[in-house]
Amino acid sequence: MTNNPTVDAAGTAEVDGTAEVDGSIGIFDSGVGGLTVLRQIQAVMPHENLLYFADQAHVPYGPRPDGEVQRFSLEISRFLIKHGAKIIIVACNTASAAALNYLRSAMAEVAFVGMEPAIKPGAGETQHGRVGVLATVGTFDSQRYASLMTRFARKVTVYEDPCLGLVEQIEAGELDSPETKRILNDALIPMSGENVDTLVLGCTHYPFVLPLIKQLAGPGVSVIDPAPAVARQTRRVLGERNLLIRSDSRGTLTSFTSGDPENFANSIRKLLGFQMPVSQAIWKSGTLTIS
């Protein structure tokens, strides 16, 4: 796998005096997908405290209108800041596409790091000039994606597939089921027929099915997951702002879900191989409260 994608330039906003070095790195996604980013952040910065929010009451975000994703993202960001986040990672391509600019203007004092499909590195890497992108409908329909295509995909042919239903399969822990295979086969067979040799994972859920993707795509296809680059970008932004933790002990892990906390704890165990305490946060009239 190549770990050289572009990530959002991030952190256009200043962190105000309330961000503390020993605050947490707040990370959110519609569900389990952002855990693929969390594990990279943990690998790069094991001493940092991590605070994860899974909006499982609203997963999937992919088919939702921008305005709705913006409202969810703003409230989740406020919630994370209230619980001690010093920076927020929008560990979701769909939410980054719909809401990152909105978040940066609504919470100008907060540093945000976002995600975007790795079109630029994909275009740089392909031998045959053919790149496949797997992302949600929301990401493909966004201005952010259109701008990436205009800037970086002029000299290559890009094949796109929204892998409808794949996010739901991954949320259900079905990483190798017949339905998961069918969805991926439907996406990947036409791409292989077109000689695609580079695949961009434009949804943070999809690295959880990387073994299956590699198996179905075959050995000649390189797969780009932006999560390691996002983790390095997060470390850079924290460093520039003097917000890296000054501690040698292992960081704490805390998580919230707006769905079922027991299910989410099981998913974490299954997907990451370790335990994390999970609390439930409930949406009430557009606001998050702890149950």
Instruction: List the one residue from 11, 62, 121, 226 that touches ligand DGL (CB under 6 A).
Output: 62
Rounded to a whole number of angstroms, the minimum distance from the CB of residue 41 to ligand DGL is 15
Q: Give the pairing type, strands 85-90 and 157-161.
A: unpaired
92 is a contact residue toward ligand DGL (CB under 6 A) = yes
Task: Give which of 232, 202, 231 is closest to 92, Cα–Cα.
Answer: 202
Q: Is 152 in the site for ligand DGL (CB under 6 A)?
A: no
Nearest by Cα to 199 from 167, 168, 221: 221
92 tagged catalytic: yes
Binding mask of the shown chain, residues 153 to 182, with x at each position contacting ligand DGL by CB under 6 A: --------------x---------------
> Is 203 in the active site?
yes
Q: Candidates 29-37, 141-149, 188-196, 222-230 — which segment interacts with ligand DGL by CB under 6 A? A: 29-37
* 6 contributes a contact to ligand DGL by CB under 6 A: no
Shortest Cβ 79–ligand DGL spacing (Å): 18
Contact track, ligand DGL, 112-151, x by CB under 6 A: ------------------------x--x------------
Q: Is 205 in the site for ligand DGL (CB under 6 A)?
A: yes
Instruction: Compute the least distance from the CB of residue 262 to ligand DGL, in Å.
Output: 21
Extended strands (E) in the chain: 24-29, 49-54, 85-90, 112-113, 130-134, 157-161, 198-201, 222-224, 253-257, 278-284, 287-290
Residue 179: which residues within 8 A CB-CB, separation 6 or more? 165, 169
Strands 112-113 and 157-161, sheet pairing: unpaired
Catalytic residue among 188, 203, 217, 245: 203
Identified binder of ligand DGL from the candidate list 24, 30, 198, 255, rule CB under 6 A: 30
Which of 45, 54, 92, 103 is flagged as catalytic?
92
Find, among 64, 31, 276, 27, the residue nearest to 171 by Cα.
31
Nearest to 16 by CA among 68, 85, 101: 85
Q: Write the secondary structure of 72-88 as one string of H (helix), E (strand) and C (coil).
A: HHHHHHHHHHHCCEEEE
Q: Minimum Å distance from CB 225 to ligand DGL? A: 11
Footprint of ligand DGL on this chain (CB under 6 A)? 29-30, 33, 59-62, 92-94, 136, 139, 167, 203-205
